[in-house]
Structure 1
Amino acid sequence: MDHTVYDVLIIGAGPIGIACAIAAKNNHLSHLIVDKGCLVNSLYNYPTNMTFFSSSERLEIEEIPFVTTNPKPKRAEALEYYRRVHDKFNLNTKLFEEVLSYQKQGEIFHIQTSKNQYKARNIIVATGFYDIPIYLNIPGEDLPKVSHYYNDPHYYAGQNVVIVGASNSSIDAALETYRKGAKVTLVIRGTDISHRVKYWVRPDIMNRIAEGSITVYFESQLKEILSDKVVISTKNTEITIANDFVLTLTGYRPNFELLKKFQINIPDDDDMIPEHDLNTMETNIKGLYLAGVVCGGLNTHLWFIENSRVHAKMIMESILAKS
């Protein structure tokens, strides 16, 4: 057991968790970061060839330059950048250590992890939303050929691949696997690809669809997944097509189970935005704060790295005002 009483314990070693730790250190507050995965775990699990929508300067922390030779940085560059920032500030971080529960005794939080116990006066939850997929809940979704994450296109060369979703992850996967020789079918619930698809990617996917290189079913849903085929419910009928792999890239959600363990109020509505003060980021539990994309609940397009970095400053101002 660690007997130190930290001023701030941060759950999540992503870019915003790192920003919060730096802000704590700059304000002479003791800190500890705990993450169940590796450093910037969500970014690590992004597709190998992913290019960010944001330019590098909008992803910077503490005005430390994020230098890249590309107009938009790639995943590998982001991993290197945030690791260097983390190491530059010599942050106190425990990785591959999952937070399991907590108790609050007086003004002190007692946190139990998979490896240790800690005490802290304040907690910041900065866990992101990339860990838990949104499931389709259809027959066959648990088959080995189904994945809710996409990494590298080579694996799907020469295969019949069905991709569910209309956002950046789905469209990137469709184009990359197609170019490695996969026969790609897109299944999209709406009438068009998402308006959030990167502007330089949209013409590419529209041209591939128009020429018939990639098949798309709009206003459609995947109804059932079988070992060698899938059933698609379209606007007018049901069709069955041959299939080797299914990528259900339908989005991800925050770890609501963890938030509920911390007794944070979560409304039962479409967005499920956890209760917090927009001026201080403090939740309904005194001394317990939210930072980053977790603040948006199911509205995962509300907060990004570039617009939630300010949460670190807001939280430290709140903590210092109390002390």
Structure 2
Amino acid sequence: MDNTSYDLVIIGGGPIGIACGIEAQKKDLKYVILEKGVLVNALYNFPENMTFFSTSELLEIGEVPFVSDRDKPTRKESLEYYRRVQETYNLNISLYTEVLKMTPKEEGYTIVTGKGDAFAKAVIVATGFYDTPRELKIPGANLPKVKYFYDSPHPYVGQKIVIIGAANSACDVALETYYKGAEVTMVVRGAGINERTKYWIKPNIENRIKEGAIAAHFNSQVTSISKENVTVNTLNGEIVIENDFVLAMIGYKPNYTLFKNIGLPIDDDEFRTPIFNEETLETPLPNVFIAGVAAGGLKTSRFFIENTRIHAEMILNHLEKKLKK
């Protein structure tokens, strides 16, 4: 890839990055998609047994039908679907290619990656957020027992686990591991289960807590983690819980380290939102665009695959006019 020149470099090989690649291909632009991990890396990090809340139709891109066994597809089905989309269009995508830096050059940008440099007249940042977890900032947070992603309940069979959080992911994990034989304790900063938790999960987790099957400490915070224990500050004082694993299901964030390294301007509002034109998705950096859920900053409930699929057409229609001037 050294010194290759492109009309467009797309950073991120998730659904929206793929959609941008399809639109670039339709417009005969020379492009490449750079993905730091596997194809649709964020979806790959979803739990093994996850089912989408949306229908398969709302997740379709590139006019490729998404056929699933049920109305709402599974993680496995989504991975196969986006692989099939990539194969259908034979997209130019470089996997395991992490973007390290971007520097402006005359009429474009130099993109520095772990596999060499590339030059681009235009850049789309479509990096999502799910593969960048919010991490704990407490002693012991980097111990191997602390997990920020959850894949399967099997490793936690017969184990004492502490789950931090009270939204959808935390409640899903608490229930699934409990049903598979883990001793589950939830530690929740607020006074109860998050009100936005899915309607079929919330009563289930609340009933398990009420009957004592799952322990829960509300208005509480984990203050330190050791190999054998977790220390929790509660309303009734500090307690120590014997513990094998900590699952920190406390949310995700855009890759702000990457944003800084490529010079992407960020608003100083509470959501640290990337700055961009709402009509064209162009940032203050000329010919640099942001697409997909990363555009919402820390407000991760603003954008989804379903309502950002249109970003690809919005950007490429605008970019085509600019490049042909």
Instruction: Please say whether Structure 1 and Structure 2 have the same fold, judged by a TM-score greater than 0.5.
Output: yes
Distance between the aligned counterparts of 1:5 and 1:231, measured in 2? 53
Which residue in the other structure is 1:298 paired with?
298
| CA–CA distance in structure 1, aligned partners of residues 223 and 260 of structure 2 | 32
Give matches, 1:155-304, under 5 Å. Answer: 155-304=155-304
Cα distance, 1:271 vs structure 2 = 0.3
C-alpha deviation, 1:37, in angstroms: 0.4
Query: For residues 69 and 131 of structure 1, what CA distance do their matches in structure 2 show?
Result: 27
Matched residue of 2:177: which SS? helix
Match of 2:87 in 1: 87
Displacement of 1:150 in angstroms is 1.0
- In the alignment, the residues of structure 2 paired with residue 297 and residue 238 of structure 1 have an alpha-carbon distance, to the nearest angstrom, of 34
Q: Hey, what does 1:38 align to over in structure 2?
A: 38
Range that drifts further, 134-143 or 286-295 = 134-143
Separation (CA, whole Å) in 2 of partners of 1:90 and 1:76? 21
Alpha-carbon distance, 1:173 to partner: 0.8
The answer for unaligned runs of 5 or more in structure 1 is: none
SS at match of 1:69: coil
Question: What residue in structure 1 maps to residue 96 of structure 2?
Answer: 96
Counterpart for residue 131 of structure 1: 131
The alpha carbon displacement at 1:130 in A equals 2.1
Look up the equivalent residue of 2:117 and give its one-letter code.
Answer: Q
Q: Distance in 1 between matches of 2:10 and 2:282?
A: 13
Q: Which runs of 4+ in 1 moved over 3 A?
A: 1-4
1:174-225, Cα deviation, whole Å (9 max, x unpaired): 0111011001011111122223322222232122122211111111111121
AA in 1 matched with 2:318 = S
Q: Please report how far the alpha carbon of residue 280 of structure 1 lies from its aligned counterpart in structure 2 after TM superposition.
A: 0.6
Same amino acid, percent of matched pairs: 52
Does the Cα contact within 8 Å between 1:281 and 1:315 map onto a contact in 2? yes
1:141: Cα distance to partner?
1.2
SS for the counterpart of 1:257 is: helix
1:53–1:198 CA contact under 8 A, matched in 2: no
What is the TM-score when the length of structure 1 is the normalising length? 0.96
Structure 1 range deviating more: 84-93 or 235-244: 235-244
How many residue pairs get matched?
A: 323
Aligned-partner residue type, residue 257 of structure 2? E
Q: Per-residue displacement from partner, 1:32-72 (whole Å, max 9, x unpaired)?
A: 10111010011111111111111111111123221111232
- RMSD of the TM alignment (CA)? 1.4
Normalised TM-score (structure 2):
0.96
The C-alpha deviation readout for 1:72-95, integer Å capped at 9, x for no partner, is: 211100000000011101100100
